[in-house]
Amino acid sequence: LNNRFLKEQYSEAVTLDGKHISLRLNAGLELNTEQSSVDVCDGVGLYRTEAWFMQKGQFPSQLEQENWYREVLTSYYPKPVVMRTLDIGGDKVLDYFNFTEENPFLGWRGIRISLDHPELFLDQLKAMLKANMGLGNLKIMLPMISGTEEVDESLALFEQAYFELSEKYPAQVIEKPAVGIMLEVPSSLFMIPEWSKKVDFCSVGSNDLTQYLLAVDRSNARVAQLFNPYHPAVLRALKQIASDCEYHQMPFSLCGELGGDPEGAILLIAMGYRRLSMNLSSLNKVRWVVRRLNASDMKTLLAACLAQSSAKQVLRLTRNFMIEHG
């Protein structure tokens, strides 16, 4: 029995009708990389760099960051690691960089802070680029993008970081990694045609996308029952993103909690998502479910779910589907 379980852990996530799903890890919140997490994923789909910044008493130096990032990239090498640039603000505050706002989730968050502090952003980008030297498994992802100017300004600073380093290091050692954006602000739903021409990939942050689409604070217990990614509006948005990314040939994935939920994962696969990134505890659960289902049955379920008018109805359908399919 033990042997069978081990085989399950390391086997590929392929549906019964042959659709390959890449299951990646959301990492960064626990500061140590465990070997067990390296073995059970197809790489890191979201590395949250802010957790480390939150533990330190001050902004880490470029060299400290470089050493830290290299350790992470080396642990997962040669699997890809998508490192997200600093995503503070909102629910994630730094003791040494205090600011109070009336509406922190609508305020100074994510890429907005990095662009207002280019010296911090450049330090982080250079540390990532240097850490990747001789490895090459780094991808960089930008959080909380809401407008085209943010994409353009971020890419210009990325080019500057690369240019400044390429003056110091030979071109063959300093690689230019893929740069992607998070789709987690509702405006991004309508910008895929333009942004797909500028960046290499995107990943949906369904936690923030749900919060902003439904106007429900993701960390407020009083409205927690309204925070529901199975709301038909959220599902329809996620489907639209998948269709637009396919049409505009932008590689896409999802790294919010929904992808780590077996019911959520099968709906996303039915929509066309082939890369899902999730917490360590969800990986084997989702792999188990994927390997026992047909993607065509998931599509039938999705069509029914998209036609519902409430999250309650959607969840009733997904639960029945899970029971029917054992």
Can you give the binding site for ligand PEP, defined by CB under 6 A?
Answer: 46, 48, 87, 184, 205-208, 255-256
Q: Which is nearer to Mg ion, 195 or 321 (CB)?
A: 195
178 to 217: interface string for Mg ion, x by CB under 5 A: ------x--------------------x--x---------
257 binds Mg ion (CB under 5 A): no
8 Å CB contact between 204 and 253: yes
Q: Which is nearer to ligand PEP, 128 or 142 (CB)?
A: 142
Q: Which is nearer to Mg ion, 123 or 184 (CB)?
A: 184
Q: Which is nearer to ligand PEP, 267 or 317 (CB)?
A: 267
Q: Which is nearer to Mg ion, 42 or 208 (CB)?
A: 208
User: 206 contacts which partner out of Mg ion, ligand PEP, none, CB within 5 to 8 A by kind?
Assistant: ligand PEP
CA 240/CA 59 separation, integer angstroms: 39
- Quote the least distance from Cβ 184 to ligand PEP, whole Å: 5
- Quote the least distance from Cβ 149 to ligand PEP, whole Å: 21
User: 89 contacts which partner out of Mg ion, ligand PEP, none, CB within 5 to 8 A by kind?
Assistant: none
- Quote the least distance from Cβ 54 to ligand PEP, whole Å: 12
Three-state SS string over the chain comes to: CHHHHHHHHHCCCECCCCCECEEEEEECCCCCCCHHHHHCCCCEEEEECHHHHHHCCCCCCHHHHHHHHHHHHHHHCCCCEEEECCCCECCECCCCCCCCCCCHHHCCCCHHHHHHCHHHHHHHHHHHHHHCCCCCCEEEEECCCCCHHHHHHHHHHHHHHHHHHHCCCCCCCCCCCEEEEEECCHHHHHCHHHHCCCCCEEEECHHHHHHHHHCCCCCCHHHHHHCCCCCHHHHHHHHHHHHHHHHCCCCEEECCHHHHCHHHHHHHHHHCCCEEEECHHHHHHHHHHHCCCCHHHHHHHHHHHHCCCCHHHHHHHHHHHHHHCC
Q: Which residue is nearest to ligand PEP (CB)?
A: 205
- Quote the least distance from Cβ 44 to ligand PEP, whole Å: 12
- Quote the least distance from Cβ 234 to ligand PEP, whole Å: 11
Q: Which is nearer to Mg ion, 150 or 184 (CB)?
A: 184
Q: Which is nearer to ligand PEP, 15 or 49 (CB)?
A: 49
- Quote the least distance from Cβ 267 to ligand PEP, whole Å: 16
User: 150 contacts which partner out of ligand PEP, Mg ion, none, CB within 5 to 8 A by kind?
Assistant: none
- Quote the least distance from Cβ 6 to ligand PEP, whole Å: 29
Q: How many residues bind Mg ion (CB under 5 A)?
A: 3
- Quote the least distance from Cβ 206 to ligand PEP, whole Å: 5
CA 258/CA 248 separation, integer angstroms: 24
Q: Which is nearer to ligand PEP, 65 or 188 (CB)?
A: 188
CA 250/CA 248 separation, integer angstroms: 6
Within 8 A by CB and 6+ apart from 157, the residues are: 115, 118, 121, 122, 125
| Site residues (vs Mg ion, CB under 5 A) | 184, 205, 208
